[in-house]
Amino acid sequence: MGRLIMDVAVLAGGVGGAKLAWGLSRLLPPERLTVIVNTGDDFDWHGLRICPDLDTVIYTLAGIASSERGWGIEGDTFRMRARLEQLGCEAWFQVGDLDAATHLLRTGLLRGGASVTEVARELCRRNGVEARVLPMSDDPVATRLDTDEGTLEFQEYFVRRACAPQVRRVFYAGIERARAASGVKEALLRAGMIVIAPSNPYLSTGPILALEGVREILQARRSAVRAVSPIAAGKAYKGPAASMMRQMGEEASPLGIARLYSDLLGALFIDPCDEGLAPSVAALGIRCIVRPISMNTGEEKVELASSVLRFQIAADAGLPQPGEASSESWRRRS
């Protein structure tokens, strides 16, 4: 098998995408890795511009993310936030004192005329991150949810209401006027592999795929598009993906994920606990690889990343891949 070197583009939301990107960053030369990050969660907080997913990806690649929380900076304190609460301000969004420096730097640069892309590049440089981290767009896109409590902004739903409301529809305000950021389409066209990270399909990868022209590129490059399921045994590794899928009338399983990506996915990595779904995934024309997909430890992240890379190399060489369940092999078993 060849060296684990190719251009890889990752579509990422927050924690799940950041973990897989980190695993890939341990294996690839930095210039080979492009992480395309959801900006639908971005919002203004007391005048500061906050880009939660970009920060999670950058902090994780920089090795400073909180290992316990997944988001924010390891060892951060929350004194500023406590003081805001003391002053009677809404402070349900958790901004740490170290984390706040990122938002100040970003807000200052944006007000000085920099684009979100330029700010991300600057944050990468100043945090020693060599991989390329791109926001999906420099234009404002705001993920909103129609729920049984009315239409909510993303952070209202996600943080303030802790994902409790029943979701009826997810939409991305501004998406029709937003263009993919410079470099995004190029990276998707050039990549030897496009990985859809184990992120929420509505809240994290949904906005990226909804950008003009992006879904079409993935459809055209289907044999290079792989996803890691964010769901195993009916549960999401993090966040509300499973319950949202049910609320949206979809099965909360890797098969539901496969259906949402059925027009563009070449291969899906699912956990052994969901092995029984592999034939149904394969029946959608999606190659299904069964292997552990949890990323709790650094080792697990690197092993999963390595497995995804090796699968692509084998596929490009026309070699069989251990763990793959083709629809034929599953039919033979059953």
Instruction: Give the residues lining the site for a second copy (CB under 8 A).
Output: 44-49, 77, 79-81, 83-84, 86-89, 97-98, 100-102, 104-105, 107-108, 110-111, 126-127
Tell me the closest approach of the beta carbon of residue 170 to a second copy, in angstroms: 27
Tell me the closest approach of the beta carbon of residue 44 to a second copy, in angstroms: 8
Nearer to a second copy, 125 or 169 (CB): 125
**How far is Cα 266 from Cα 72, in angstroms, rounded to an integer?**
33
Nearer to a second copy, 104 or 233 (CB): 104
- Cα dihedral across residues 214, 215, 221, 224: positive or negative: positive
Nearer to a second copy, 112 or 318 (CB): 112
Tell me the closest approach of the beta carbon of residue 132 to a second copy, in angstroms: 19
**How far is Cα 291 from Cα 293, in angstroms, rounded to an integer?**
6
CB of 291 closer than 8 Å to CB of 272: yes
According to DSSP, the β-strands at 150-153 and 267-270 are: unpaired
Which run of H or of E encompasses 86?
helix 79-86
Tell me the closest approach of the beta carbon of residue 100 to a second copy, in angstroms: 5
Nearer to a second copy, 128 or 276 (CB): 128
Tell me the closest approach of the beta carbon of residue 206 to a second copy, in angstroms: 29
Nearer to a second copy, 107 or 329 (CB): 107
* Backbone torsions φ then ψ of 4, nearest 5 degrees: -85, 55
Q: Where are the beta strands (DSSP E) in the chain?
A: 8-12, 33-37, 43-45, 48-50, 132-135, 142-147, 150-153, 167-173, 193-196, 225-228, 231-232, 235-236, 267-270, 287-290, 324-325
